[in-house]
Amino acid sequence: MPDYQQHEHDVLVIGAGGAGLRAAIEASAAGVSVGLVCKSLLGKAHTVMAEGGIAAALANVDDRDSWKVHFADTMRGGQYVNNWRMAELHAKEAPDRVRELEAWGAMFDRTADGKILQRNFGGHRYPRLAHVGDRTGLEMIRTLQDHGIHQGIDVHMECTVVTLLKDGDRVVGAFGYERERGRFKLFKARAVVLATGGVGRAYKITSNSWEYTGDGHTLAYDAGADLMDMEFVQFHPTGMIWPPSVCGILVTEAVRGEGGVLKNSEGRRFMYDEIPDNYRSQTADNDEEGWRYTQGDKAARRPPELLTRDHVSRCIMREVKAGRGSPHGGVFLDIAWIKARIPSGAEHIRKKLPSMYHQFKQLADLDITETPMEVGPTTHYVMGGVKVDAETQMSTVPGLFAAGECAAGINGANRLGGNSLSDILVFGKRAGEFAAKFAKEQKAPSVDGAQVDAAAKGALEPFERGTSGEGAYQVQYALQEMMQNLVGIVRNEPEMKRALECLGPLRERAARVGVGGHREYNPGWHAALDLHSLLTVSEAVTRSALERRESRGGHFRDDYPDKDNAFGSFNFVVRKKSDGAMEVARAPIPPMPAELKQVIDEMK
Amino acid sequence: MASTATFRIWRGDAQNGRFEDYQTAVSDGMVVLDAVHQIQAETANDLAVRWNCKAGKCGSCSAEVNGNPRLMCMTRLNQLDLAKPVTLEPMRAFPLIRDLVTDVSWNFQAKKSVKKFKPRKPDAPDGTWRINQVDVDRVQEFRKCIECFLCQDVCHVLRDHHMFGEFVGPRHLVYTAALEMHPLDTESRARDLKAAHGVGLCNITKCCTRVCPEHITITDNAIIPLKERVIDQLYDPVARLFRMMRA
ipTM value of the model?
Answer: 0.95
Chain A residue with minimal CA distance to B56?
Answer: A359
Strands A129-130 and A385-386: unpaired
Looking at residue B28, its pLDDT comes to 83
pTM of the shown model: 0.95
With H, G, I as helix, E, B as strand and everything else as coil, classify residue A47. helix
CATH number for A4-234+381-440 (one of 3.50.50.60, 3.30.70.100, 3.40.718.10, 3.20.130.10): it is 3.50.50.60
User: Which of A48, A204, A359 is most worth mutating to test chain B (most B CB atoms within 10 A of its CB)?
Assistant: A48
What are A277-286's contacts with CB under 8 Å, separation 24+?
A: A278/A76, A279/A307, A279/A308, A282/A125, A283/A307
Q: What is the 3-state secondary structure (H, E, C) of B47-107?
A: CCCCCCCCCCCCCCCEEEECCEEEEHHHCEHHHCCCCCCEEEECCCCCCEEECCEECCHHH
Beta bridge partners of residue A165, listed in sequence order: A173
Distance from CA of A587 to the nearest CA of B (A): 36
Q: Determine the Cα–Cα distance for residues A315 and A321; give it in Å rounded to an integer.
A: 10
Of the candidates A42, A49, A99, which has its C-beta nearest B127's C-beta? A99
Residue B137 sits at the chain A interface (C-beta within 8 Å): no
Decide the pairing of beta strands A34-37 and A154-156.
parallel
- Is the pLDDT at B27 greater than 60? The verdict is yes
Q: Quote the pLDDT of residue A604.
A: 80
Please tell me if residue B54 touches chain A, with a CB cutoff of 8 Å: yes
Q: Are A230 and A575 in contact (CB under 8 A)?
A: no
Distance CA A398, CA A215 (A): 19
* Calpha distance A380→A22 (Å, rounded): 22
Q: Which fold has domain A449-588?
A: Methane Monooxygenase Hydroxylase; Chain G, domain 1 (1.20.58)
Domains belonging to chain B, first-starting first, are 4-102 (3.10.20.30), 105-246 (1.10.1060.10)
Confidence band (pLDDT; 50, 70, 90) for B2?
A: low
Average pLDDT, chain B: 95
- Residues in chain B within 8 Å Cβ distance of A242: 29
pLDDT digits (tens, 9 = 90+) for B106-162: 999 999 999 999 999 999 999 999 999 999 999 999 999 999 999 999 999 999 999
Region class of A564: left (phi > 0), else alpha (psi between -120 and 50), else beta: beta
Phi/psi at A384 (5° precision): -75, 160
Total Cβ atoms within 10 A of residue A602: 10
Backbone angles phi, psi at B55, to 5 degrees: -140, 20
CA distances in angstroms from A243 to A290, A362, B38, listed in the order given: 31, 11, 16
Instruction: Report the pLDDT value the prediction gives residue A276, as an integer from 0 to 100.
Output: 93
Same fold, A238-379 and A449-588: no
**B55 to A359: CB separation less than 8 angstroms, yes or no:** yes
pLDDT bracket for residue B243 (50, 70, 90):
confident
Residues 6+ apart with CB under 8 A from A342: A348
Collapsing DSSP states into helix, strand and coil, what is residue A574? strand
Domain A238-379 has CATH 1.10.510.10: no
Domain extents in chain A: 4-234+381-440, 238-379, 449-588
Kindly report, residue by residue over B166-223, the tens digit of the pLDDT: 999 999 999 999 999 999 999 999 999 999 999 999 999 999 999 999 999 999 999 9
Query: What's the gap between Cα B119 and its chain centre?
Result: 26
The fraction of chain B above a pLDDT of 70, given in percent, is 99
Angle, to 10 degrees, between the axis of helix A523-547 and the axis of helix A449-465? 110
Task: Kindly report the backbone phi and psi dihedral angles of residue B71, in degrees, each rounded to the nearest multiple of 5, phi listed first.
Answer: -85, 125
A211 contacts B52? CB cut-off 8 A:
yes
pLDDT tens-place string over residues B222-237: 999 999 999 998 988 8
Distance CA A554, CA A536 (A): 20
| Calpha distance B193→B166 (Å, rounded) | 10
Q: How far apart are CA B22 and CA B39, in angstroms?
A: 7
Q: How far is B19 from chain A (nearest CA, A)?
A: 17
Percent of chain B with pLDDT over 90: 90
Residue ranges of the alpha helices (H) in chain B? 32-42, 105-112, 133-143, 150-154, 156-159, 169-180, 190-194, 207-211, 224-234, 237-246
Chunked mean pLDDT (size 10), chain A, 604 residues: 88 98 98 97 95 95 97 97 98 98 97 96 94 94 97 97 97 97 97 98 94 97 98 96 90 93 97 93 95 93 93 94 94 96 94 90 94 96 98 98 98 96 98 98 93 96 93 96 96 98 98 94 96 98 98 95 96 97 98 97 88
Taking CB atoms and an 8 Å limit, are A355 and B60 in contact across chains? no
CB contact burial B55-76 (16+ within 10 A = b; e otherwise): bbbbbbbbbbbbeebbbbbbbb
Instruction: State the smallest CA–CA distance between residue B232 and chain A in angstroms.
Output: 25
B139·A107 Cβ contact <8 A? yes
Amino acid found at A56: A
List C-alpha distances in Å: A382 to A155, A361, B9. 26, 30, 37
Write out the H or E segment, with its range, that includes residue B244.
helix B237-246
From A384, A382, A17, select the one nearest A194 (Cα to Cα): A17
- List the Cα angle A238/A241/A243 in 5-degree steps: 145
CA distance B72 to B89: 11
* Per-residue model confidence (pLDDT) at position A368: 97
Phi, psi (degrees; rounded to nearest 5) at A448: -90, 115
Q: What angle in degrees, to the nearest 10, is found between the helix axes of B133-143 and A136-148?
A: 70
Q: How far is CA A103 from the centre of its chain?
A: 26
Q: Before A243, cis peptide (omega within 30)?
A: yes
Say if CB A540 and CB A230 are below 8 A apart.
yes
Element (H, E) at A475: helix A472-486
